[in-house]
């Protein structure tokens, strides 16, 4: 059985992604066309632009001169119209002939979510590669990665009502700007004052914390080490 599915949310999402990639690729091509490069260097940079925006590259016709270090590019309008007609629309084939078509669409979305889960585990959470030799250590490695994934999903759920336009990955990237550091200050009596501090978040991150109803913990209290013995004792 074949089921035609169309989602307005998916249309909007895929269209926004395509526009973003096409805009970035078009700006990159315009910049390359104004640069003075050798033909070999130009080909390498064009290849890099293609790898960065593969979907948008199929919508642009790029012709490189056979001898000179120059190229022309133009929008493939027929291809763009074809892509626009297909965005957010899927033709599903299934052997579940007695199922409700709406239920089949939910199964398909679940499959996408499962694939994204494995992508997160292998990518962001680095569940692989595994270099452990003992089985219990491998189990512990996977268990910790699973706990991290649970936190990843929890963060995504927290974002939905407060900041639906952000993904868990983008929020983690924003929080990466906050660094924890130790400040060591020597004293006159051969001791050392240690201040553990995190950097102040930027204004955008403060706004995100407010939207999520989160507060950073208080700065840890200072610590002071014991007096150090002198290296040599006078006779």
User: Which residues in the chain come in under a pLDDT of 70?
Assistant: 124, 127, 227-235
Shared domain for 80 and 132, answered yes or no, is no
Q: Is residue 231 part of a domain?
A: no
Shared domain for 187 and 167, answered yes or no, is no
Q: Is residue 233 part of a domain?
A: no
Interatomic CA distance for residues 192 and 227, integer angstroms: 8
Shared domain for 78 and 21, answered yes or no, is yes
The domain in which residue 70 lies consists of: 2-86
Instruction: Look at residue 227 in the predicted model and tell me its pLDDT.
Output: 59
Q: Which of 86, 118, 134 is the last residue of a domain?
A: 86
Shared domain for 209 and 148, answered yes or no, is no
Count of the separate structural domains present in the chain: 3
Q: Is residue 110 part of a domain?
A: yes
Interatomic CA distance for residues 119 and 221, integer angstroms: 40
Question: Please, which residues have CB within 8 angstroms of residue 171's CB and are 6 or more apart in sequence?
Answer: 155, 159, 163, 208
Shared domain for 170 and 185, answered yes or no, is no
Model-level pTM?
A: 0.48
Shared domain for 135 and 73, answered yes or no, is no
Instruction: Look at residue 71 in the predicted model and tell me its pLDDT.
Output: 92
Shared domain for 52 and 112, answered yes or no, is no
Instruction: Look at residue 129 in the predicted model and tell me its pLDDT.
Output: 75
Asked if residue 56 lies in contact with residue 21, where contact means CB atoms within 8 angstroms, the answer is yes
């Amino acid at each position: 059985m074949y089921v035609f599915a169309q989602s307005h949310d998916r249309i909007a999402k895929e269209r926004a992604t395509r526009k973003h990639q096409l805009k970035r690729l078009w700006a990159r091509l315009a910049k390359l066309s104004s640069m003075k490069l050798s033909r070999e260097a130009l080909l390498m940079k064009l290849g890099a632009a293609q790898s960065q925006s593969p979907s948008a590259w199929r919508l642009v016709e790029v012709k490189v001169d056979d001898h000179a270090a120059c190229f022309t590019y133009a929008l493939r309008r027929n291809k763009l119209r074809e892509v626009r007609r297909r965005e957010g629309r899927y033709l599903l084939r299934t052997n579940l002939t007695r199922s409700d078509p709406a239920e089949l669409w939910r199964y398909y979305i679940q499959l996408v979510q499962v694939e994204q889960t494995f992508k997160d585990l292998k990518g962001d959470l680095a569940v692989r590669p595994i270099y452990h030799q003992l089985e219990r250590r491998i189990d512990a490695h996977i268990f910790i990665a699973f706990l991290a994934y649970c936190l990843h999903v929890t963060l995504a759920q927290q974002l939905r009502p407060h900041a639906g336009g952000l993904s868990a990955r983008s929020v983690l990237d924003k929080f990466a700007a906050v660094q924890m550091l130790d400040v060591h200050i020597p004293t006159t009596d051969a001791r050392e004052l240690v201040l553990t501090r995190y950097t102040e978040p930027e204004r955008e991150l403060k706004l995100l914390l407010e939207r999520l109803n989160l507060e950073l913990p208080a700065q840890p209290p200072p610590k002071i080490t014991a007096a150090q013995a002198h290296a040599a004792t006078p006779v």
